[in-house]
Amino acid sequence: MLDIKLIRENPGIVKDCLLKRGENIALLENIIRLDSQRLQVLKEIEELRKLRNQRSEEVERLRIENPSARIAPDLLQEVNAIKEKLRSREPEIVTIEQQLETLLLNVPNLLDDSVPEGKNSQDNQVVRQEGRIGEFSFVPKPHWEIGENLDILDFAAAAKMSGTRFALLQGKGAALERALITFMLDVHIKNGYREVFTPYLVKRDAIQGTGQLPKFTAEVFRCADDDLYLIPTAEVSVTNIFRDRVIPRKDLPQKLVAYSACFRREAGSYGQDTRGLIRNHQFNKIELVKISSAENSNQELEKLLDDAERILRELGLTYRVVLLCSGDTGFAAAKTYDLEVWMPGEKRWREVSSCSNFKDFQARRLNIKVEKNGKKELAHTLNGSGLAVGRTFAAILENYQQADGSVAIPDVLRKYTGFDIIKTDN
């Protein structure tokens, strides 16, 4: 959430950001109008309260000076009239403030100055590529064909029990998924992250605090009877660990890693990626979350990116780093890098991680502060996938497939899987 004072005093900055993001500036205009109305009503209420206190003190003084004297009816009527006006105006300010908060919750974060301007993903900037696109002596297959041929993926069975956009992993496929989860956690823990395991169901204020609501209401699963939400990412529950906390500067940065299942409706993606493991309603992910001071958050973003890249490097996968443009940067993010892995079966790049700096956007909603020189200020929050497990699973199938239809297991995973190849006869 943006500071209303910033919007009030620097509307041009916010307007420029909205235009770069491709957002309608009518939202900003309504906020400025409501804020002005709120300030005017507050001023009127304060004047009425001051006048009420003056007249009430005058009545009390007259009673003390001459207890037997009759207070002038006009004075009593004026006091009662002021009180009546206050009774009618005070609820008005509550309504205005509620309306203003609703609008503010729909304003995206300000963009970092380093974010390139652009309309959509076509305008994102490739920062660098690591590894080369290998050549196969055969026509490589997409991961869903490989998995079904090896009997480690069963989309039909998943559809029978849950519908489309679900996957059943079995045999060595399930073992590979589990191996990836453990491998990723081990790497990040060794790199200084503290492991946590958080709830999958959270309250509305928790998921609203990280920016998924109200903007992405259509994307999240809600349990109506309990008014709880299934997390679309462990970012929600992990970041909420720090809600209403003040973190001493000596304890920064906070570095947490969590495995979780994630749940998303993919409401805006129907018709896209309906096959395979790319856009499922349920998937596994390793999440990295950092809490930083304001002056160090951009540096921490670069470190976070490197931490996520480490997984791809150790798996020997070809990938590229992409800086998202203004029109493709997420609602709550100030700056985002995507990590995209090459998928030879699909002949395209696929995102396996987004690493973002949210600056104080989430911290303002969640009241996360850091202590600096005896004073408290809003923290900066960061997070990134380290990595999306299902998409990494798919990348391994496509990049490590063999001519005979088998899939070799990357060296670093073999101690976790207990096998070095997946083939049709085992």
**pLDDT the model gives residue 51:** 87
Q: What is the DSSP letter of 404?
A: T
Strand partners, 409: none
Q: Which long-range contacts (CB under 8 A, 24 or more apart) does 415-423 make?
A: 416/178, 416/179, 416/180, 416/182, 416/183, 417/172, 417/175, 417/176, 417/179, 418/175, 419/172, 419/175, 422/150, 422/152, 422/172, 422/173, 422/176, 423/150
**What gap in Å lies between CA 303 and CA 357, rounded to an integer?**
11
Across the range 247-252, mean pLDDT stands at 96
pLDDT score at 411: 98
Q: Which two tokens stand for residue 417?
A: 């899987």
Output the DSSP codes for 284-302: EEEEEEEEE-GGGHHHHHH
pLDDT tier, 274 (very low <50, low <70, confident <90, very high otherwise): confident
> Is residue 227 predicted with pLDDT exceeding 80?
yes
Tell me the two tokens of residue 250: 């000596």
Query: What residue type is assigned to position 251 of the chain?
Result: D
Strand partners, 370: 247, 377
Domain range annotation of the chain: 4-104, 121-422
How many angstroms from the chain centroid is the CA of residue 2? 15
For position 61, what pLDDT does the model report?
A: 77
Q: Please compute the mean of the pLDDT values over residues 122-138 and round it to a whole number.
A: 96
CATH of domain 121-422: 3.30.930.10
pLDDT reading at 315 higher than 90: yes
Residue 344, pLDDT > 80, answer yes
CATH annotation of 4-104 = 1.10.287.40
Among 301, 351, 356, residue whose Cα is nearest residue 321: 351
* Other C-beta atoms lying within 10 Å of the C-beta of residue 372: 14
Q: Chain centroid to CA 144: how far? A: 29
In this prediction, residue 293 carries a pLDDT of 97
Smallest Cα–Cα separation from 201: which of 187, 181, 221?
Answer: 221
Average pLDDT, the chain: 94
| 114 band by pLDDT with thresholds 50, 70 and 90 | very high
State mean pLDDT over 95-123: 97
Q: Give the pLDDT band (50/70/90) at residue 400.
A: very high
Cα 39 from Cα 53, distance rounded (Å): 21
Give the pLDDT band of residue 191 (cuts 50, 70, 90): very high
Q: How confident is the model at residue 68 (pLDDT cuts 50, 70, 90)?
A: low
Of 173, 244, 176, 230, whose CA–CA distance to 201 is shortest? 230
387 prior amide bond cis, ω within 30: yes
Residue 141 confidence (pLDDT) above 80: yes
pLDDT of residue 276: 95
The pLDDT value given to residue 69: 66
pLDDT of res. 60: 72
- How many angstroms separate the CA atoms of 73 and 313, rounded? 85
This prediction's pTM: 0.92
Mean predicted confidence (pLDDT) in 201-209: 98
pLDDT band at 78 (very low <50, low <70, confident <90, very high): confident
Task: Write down the pLDDT at residue 56.
Answer: 79
Place of tokens 């063999």: 402
Q: pLDDT tens across 228-243, in order?
A: 999 999 999 999 999 9
* pLDDT, position 163: 96
pLDDT at residue 317, as a whole number? 98
Query: If residue 14 lies in a helix (H) or strand (E), which one and from where to where?
Result: helix 11-21
Q: How far apart are CA 202 and CA 260, in angstroms?
A: 13
pLDDT score recorded for residue 266: 84
- pLDDT computed for residue 76 by the predictor: 73
CA–CA distances in Å: residue 344 to residues 162, 242, 317, 394, 396: 29, 41, 11, 11, 10
Instruction: Decide if pLDDT at 70 tops 80.
Output: no
